[in-house]
Amino acid sequence: MTLPSFLDWVANPLLGALVGVLLLLQWRFPLRHQHFAVLRRLVRNYVMSIPGFVVVRLAMLPIPFAIAAWAEHRQVGLLNWLHLSKWLAIPAGFVILDYAYWWWHWANHMIPFFWRFHNVHHTDLDLDVTTAARFHFGEIFFSTAFLSIVLLIGGMCPFTFIVFFVVFEGAVAFHHSNWRLPIGLERVLNLVIVTPRMHGIHHSIVQRETNSNWGTVFCWWDKLHRTLRRDIPQDALTIGVAGYRDEHELTLGKLWALPFGKQREWRLPNGEEPDRVPRDVDELAE
Ligand SMILES: [Zn+2]
């Protein structure tokens, strides 16, 4: 099976079905109270992401895939040099890719140039499965370059890359969703993977909370780097970026243009910097 036919006939229908199920679950069992019109956000987030989808399909998948195939053929990159068996190389490659993405997400917050683009994703004033699509095409373009470099150095095979990509997209849809899982179950899942409550804290209007929980698939990397934060109950969260609170300033054209204009400080329109006292608890708050 070729890459395009796998994407069009297997991966995309699967991910589409997952998004459909999550839309239903978050509607039936909502986690956070939504403040803005659900349908308008859905349309805006999906229309906003059309150029991004095009970049994913035409660049973010085929380019790194071709690089991984080239590296495998020439035996370039860490995992190729180690000559591991497939049974070890595939899971190892998957874990390394997820860890590399933790750093990429970190860079998107910490390097002002990249934040210009990633900011668009965080300006969503509510958080649900449609936020998972809300990425500026510029960010996806830079992600393509980043992924290509990681695959070249890491030497993951094309199969590992595609498996990672599908799981990664599924994980992004899941942890952005507004689906209220039973807290006991979510705490167990959150021993291993990033869950909706954990990622909800990453979308908080409090900057210290946004600058935490950078993981995509596994939650270990945040534990390792002491950036894991589980102490905020979801009903105490305000979602978004402090400087961008007005729905009318976050329309399609303005979102596409956002990275190219002057960036606002992390302050509310009244000049205040949102804050709260961190609690010293490790258990995922309800
Ligand atoms: Zn982020």
Question: Distance from the CA of 220 to the center of ligand 1, in angstroms?
Answer: 17
Question: Distance from the CA of 181 to the center of ligand 1, in angstroms?
Answer: 22
Question: Distance from the CA of 210 to the center of ligand 1, in angstroms?
Answer: 7
For 260-279, the pLDDT digits (tens) are 999 999 999 888 999 888 88
For 168-190, the pLDDT digits (tens) are 999 999 999 999 999 999 999 99
Question: Distance from the CA of 133 to the center of ligand 1, in angstroms?
Answer: 13
Question: Distance from the CA of 1 to the center of ligand 1, in angstroms?
Answer: 34
Whole-angstrom Cα distance, residue 77 to residue 177?
36
Question: Distance from the CA of 214 to the center of ligand 1, in angstroms?
Answer: 7
| Residue 107 predicted with pLDDT over 80 | yes
Residue-level pLDDT at 229:
95
Alpha-carbon distances, residue 201 vs 166, 231, 232, 251 (angstroms): 24, 9, 7, 24
Indicate the average pLDDT of the chain.
94
Taking Cα atoms as reference points, which of 259, 209, 252 lies closest to residue 230?
209
Taking Cα atoms as reference points, which of 80, 118, 73 lies closest to residue 96?
80
Question: Distance from the CA of 164 to the center of ligand 1, in angstroms?
Answer: 19
**Are the C-beta atoms of residues 14 and 166 closer than 8 Å to each other?**
yes
Alpha-carbon distances, residue 211 vs 22, 75, 110, 115, 215 (angstroms): 26, 38, 9, 12, 11
Residue 52 CB neighbours (<10 A): 22
Alpha-carbon distances, residue 57 vs 4, 88, 173 (angstroms): 9, 29, 17
Residue-level pLDDT at 23:
96
Q: Which residues contact 263 (CB under 8 A, 6 or more apart)?
A: 112, 115, 116, 119, 243
**Are the C-beta atoms of residues 283 and 187 closer than 8 Å to each other?**
yes
Question: Distance from the CA of 109 to the center of ligand 1, in angstroms?
Answer: 6
pLDDT band per the 50, 70, 90 thresholds, residue 7? confident
Whole-angstrom Cα distance, residue 206 to residue 221?
21
Question: Distance from the CA of 235 to the center of ligand 1, in angstroms?
Answer: 20
Question: Distance from the CA of 119 to the center of ligand 1, in angstroms?
Answer: 8
Strand, helix or coil for residue 189: helix
Question: Distance from the CA of 28 to the center of ligand 1, in angstroms?
Answer: 26
Question: Distance from the CA of 248 to the center of ligand 1, in angstroms?
Answer: 22
Question: Distance from the CA of 118 to the center of ligand 1, in angstroms?
Answer: 7
Question: Distance from the CA of 215 to the center of ligand 1, in angstroms?
Answer: 9
Question: Distance from the CA of 107 to the center of ligand 1, in angstroms?
Answer: 10
Question: Distance from the CA of 122 to the center of ligand 1, in angstroms?
Answer: 7
Whole-angstrom Cα distance, residue 127 to residue 196?
10
| Residue 1 predicted with pLDDT over 80 | no
pLDDT band per the 50, 70, 90 thresholds, residue 69? very high
Question: Distance from the CA of 115 to the center of ligand 1, in angstroms?
Answer: 9
Question: Distance from the CA of 266 to the center of ligand 1, in angstroms?
Answer: 14
Strand, helix or coil for residue 218: strand
Determine the average pLDDT of the residues in 148-164: 95
Question: Distance from the CA of 108 to the center of ligand 1, in angstroms?
Answer: 7
Buried b (16+ CB within 10 A) or exposed e, 195-213: bbbbbbbbbbbbbebbebb
